Amino acid sequence: MKVLLIDDDPATTDMLEILVQAYPCTVLSANSGEEGLQLARDEKPDMILLDLMMLDMDGLDTCKALRKFTKTPILMLSALYTPAMVAKALDSGADDYLPKPVPSKVLFAHMNSLLRRSNDQTPEFLTAGANI
């Protein structure tokens, strides 16, 4: 199981990486949209956690570019949480949207939901997330 984190804030990717690495999976991190696109092409992750507000290429553009070559579930995370922004994110190809900061139980529940729909099964590593 591979999870790709794309956020231009290294502190955020570091925090998410520590959280997700508590489970038996590989965590890949990118601190720009372009770097995230390249990792997604090369590594073919099972899940992508994508920040909305990034400097070089925002999350909407990154999401649209990802959708040109992958159907991997994309969970968009952002400090912006308005109905219009959620709609834009979903219209750009995101499968789900959560506001930052997000409690770990909620994050893992949404990841479980996306992975269940994409794989018709609940990955074992996320089942333990309910205990966090």
Domains identified in the chain, total number: 1
Domain harbouring 124, CATH code: 3.40.50.2300
Say what the pLDDT of residue 68 is. 98
Q: pLDDT tens, 38-90? A: 999 999 999 999 999 999 899 999 999 999 999 999 999 999 999 999 999 99
Say what the pLDDT of residue 132 is. 46
Q: Which residues contact 60 (CB under 8 A, 6 or more apart)?
A: 52, 88, 89, 92
With cut-offs at 50, 70 and 90, classify the pLDDT of residue 119: confident
pTM, rounded to two decimals: 0.90
What residue numbers bound the domain in which 38 lies? 2-131
pLDDT tops 70 at residue 126: no
Q: pLDDT tens, 80-104? A: 999 999 999 999 999 999 999 989 8
Please, what is the end-to-end C-alpha distance for the chain in angstroms?
19
Tell me how far the alpha carbon of residue 55 is from its chain's centroid. Answer: 17
Beta strands in 7-73 (DSSP E): 26-30, 47-51
